[in-house]
Structure 1
Amino acid sequence: MLLPRTFEALPELPKGKQIQVDFGELKVKNSEGKTVKLYVIVFVLSHSRYKYTEWQEHPFTTRDVLRCHENAMEYYGGMTEEYVYDQDKLMTVSENGGDIIFTDEFQAYKQDRGFRVYLCRKADPESKGKVENAVKFVKYNFGKNRVFHNIESWNEQCLAWLKRKGNYQVHNTIKKRPIEVFALEKPHLREVSAPLSFESNLGSSITRIYCN
């Protein structure tokens, strides 16, 4: 049986330069023995391979994606200069003469946060091999054979697993623990202003939450 190929062809990037983002799906058994389908978004810092994930029980919407970006920024304590994605319908509408047209919500968000976007084609795994490998790692090392009770506890368990294993064990490529490399990378992340809210269903506006 042929094993799936892994891709990490691009050279190592400097600290705080890039985050790669991708999605996955996984079927698991719940406590009643029934099969349920879960959806995951995975973020990985390209330099340190430090990962963040969120799962949900329905396919991602653009608003879900933006909310997860905010949660990832809080988790990391900052953001990078560049974010890498597929040309996904959640972020892009079409490509016109080589120019990417983003969805209104995503366009407003990336302008507000001020990060650059690099979009790669689905047939170009070398451009985002770090996160594709991370998605497989999360799905089959955390999710496989785990019993699903509810989405809240599933996400709590996944974050605990990231701390215990996913970001702790030595990474095959960099030969270091992501948590230790992240400690050196974190000071190079860009500061994030007050968090944004995407919970309102009134139009597509972005609401900024100011904390006292």
Structure 2
Amino acid sequence: MRKDIYEGVLLHIMSETKPNYAALARQFNCDYRTVKRYYEAGISKELPSLGKRNQNKKTLIDDYEAIIIDKLSLGCSSTAIYHFISKKGYSGSERTIRRYCRNIREDKIEKATIRIETTPGLSAQVDWKEDIKLVLKTGEVVTCNIFLYILGYSRMKYLEVTFDRSQKTLFQCLNQAFYETGGIPQEIWFDNMKTVVNRSKSQFTKVVFNETFRQYSKDAGFKPIACRPFRPQTKGKVEALARTMDRLKVYNYELDDKFEFCSEVTLLMDQLNYEEISQATYERPVDRWSIEKPKLKPYDYEQLSSYCTEDQLILRKVSIESMVQHKNKKYSVPINYIGQNVLLEEDGGYLTIYHNGNLIREHLISEKRLNYEREDYVQILQSDVFKHLKDDELERFVDENLKAYDEL
């Protein structure tokens, strides 16, 4: 029962004056017939029981409310929900369900929100930019995804192009994100993706994480948090990063193959991290990263790599050492590829490295931390402090050091 309307008409009942229904309806933001019903109930001494009758009145939706909310949390449309509950006995209209679903969405989305700033090393957010359609110069359409990872305090980002969104691909991307950003935060926020949760959180249920993912998060040492459905603000940082990916649309009809697109994504990541000022912090992410990186937790790369797929293309940037990192090991490439983006493929116990579609190096997968091809090692030494040595001296030095690396 509306106590404000009750009190409004009660004054007229006590003074035996007929109220202006329309004026009271405007005052209490309701229909004039509601005011009239309250007034007539008061005249007939039925006003105290009016609220009880309304409370006991059952609607057609009441028996299906829990089902509707649960299905909405899974992203189901109102039409799909209507047909689903109709098979369970619902006799109302689809319009009623559509209006009920809309009210729930608006109630969840339009609540006031404020920006929450986290402490260094506390959190990160993860999402996908899904099903990107890239048109090559040849007219071929390539469909891909971009894995998005952002640290909460520094806004340091990791981006990776993938051609599926499987759970093993998710683990591989997370492992590389941890490596590139220097460690693992205490908690990571995820969307309700199928590779992470079996059942998302609703008003009546708790989130149920996928068992393999739960074990991965335990081994990695972070607490997974599933965002609430219909509340994109809870992971606003990564949502903003997803919108930034629209910058890549300019490369339609400009690239020869999908590998060039991978390189452009890496260049965009470097630009966002090292050059651009964050609109939220008014600093470059790399500047705040120097504060956050020491707060991140170390992790066992070997243990986490067991969750990953082995036969996929991975984009890496060649370091100033003329090395690329793969599963916490380093492998050499010719020095003229320093600073370039290369693609790695692990297959049959070998790591093959490509640049612009051309094979530039092949290594046997090993447990050694540093894996040099002899030719690459000679080039590296010749380009640095040992360039003054004669060929026979350099060869002897190379032999001794490569043997030492093997023993190490």
Verify same fold: TM over 0.5: yes
Instruction: Pick the aligned partner of 2:165 from 56, 60, 73.
Output: 60
| Between 91-100 and 66-75, the greater mean CA deviation after superposition | 91-100
Q: Which residue number corresponds to residue 79 of structure 1? A: 184
Over 3 Å counting, the alpha-carbon distance change for 1:112 and 1:135 in structure 2 is same
Deviates more, 1:18-27 or 1:98-107: 98-107
Structure 1 residue 199 corresponds to structure 2 residue 309: yes
**What residue in structure 1 maps to residue 266 of structure 2?**
159
1:50 aligns with 2:156: yes
Q: 1:3 maps to what in 2?
A: none
Per the alignment, residue 171 of structure 1 pairs with 278
Picking from 97, 111, 119, the partner of 1:14 is 119
Is residue 48–residue 181 contact of structure 1 (8 Å, CA) maintained in 2?
Answer: yes
* Aligned residues of 1:9 and 1:129 also touching (Cα < 8 A): no
Task: Find the counterpart in structure 1 of residue 220 from structure 2.
Answer: 113
**Superposition deviation, residue 82 in structure 1:** 0.3
Which runs of 5 or more structure 1 residues have no equivalent in the other structure? 1-6, 202-207
Asked whether the 8 Å contact 2:200–2:226 carries over to 1, the reply is no
Kindly indicate whether the alpha-carbon contact (under 8 Å) linking 1:171 and 1:177 is maintained by their aligned counterparts in 2. yes
**Matches of 1:175 and 1:125, distance apart in 2:** 23
Deviations 1:64-89 (A, max 9, x none): 10110001011111010000011211
State the TM-score, normalized to the length of structure 1. 0.83
Alpha-carbon shift at residue 200 of structure 1 (Å): 5.4
State the secondary structure of the residue aligned to 2:301: coil
Q: Which consecutive segments of 4 or more residues in structure 1 shift more than 6 A?
A: none
1:98 positional shift: 3.2
Larger displacement relative to structure 2 (99-108 or 122-131) = 99-108
Which shifted more, 170-179 or 149-158?
149-158
For 1:48, the aligned partner's letter is S
Q: Is the 8 A contact 2:154 2:288 kept in 1?
A: yes
3-state secondary structure, aligned to 1:183: helix
C-alpha distance 95-129 of structure 1, shift in aligned 2 (>3 A): closer
**Paired AA for residue 99 in structure 1:** K
- Aligned partner of 1:133 in structure 2 is 240
- For 1:204, the equivalent position in structure 2 comes to none
Greater CA radius of gyration, 1 or 2?
2
**What corresponds to 1:34 in structure 2?**
140
**In structure 2, how many angstroms separate the alpha carbons of the residues matched to 1:56 and 1:117?**
22
Aligned Cα RMSD in Å? 2.4
Higher relative CO (CA 8 A, sep ≥ 6), structure 1 or 2? 1
Matched, 1:88 2:193: yes
Q: 1:43 touches 1:52 (CA, 8 Å); kept in 2?
A: yes
Matched residues in 2 for 1:79 and 1:172: separation? Answer: 24
Higher strand proportion: 1
**Cα distance between partner residues in 2 of 1:37 and 1:148:** 14
Instruction: Call closer, same or farther: CA 1:178–1:64 in 2, change over 3 Å.
Output: same
Q: Which structure is higher in helix share?
A: 2
Larger mean Cα displacement after TM superposition, 92-101 or 105-114:
92-101
- Structure 1 residue 192, shift from structure 2 partner: 1.7
- TM-score, normalising length from structure 2? 0.45
Per-residue deviation, 1:180:
1.1
Question: For residues 152-183 of structure 1, what are the alpha-carbon distances to aligned partners after superposition, in whole Å with 9 as ceiling and x for unaligned?
Answer: 443233222221x2112011111111111112
- For residue 124 of structure 1, report the CA deviation from its aligned partner: 0.6
Q: 1:49 to 1:133 in 2, by over 3 A?
A: same
Percent identical pairs in the alignment equals 23
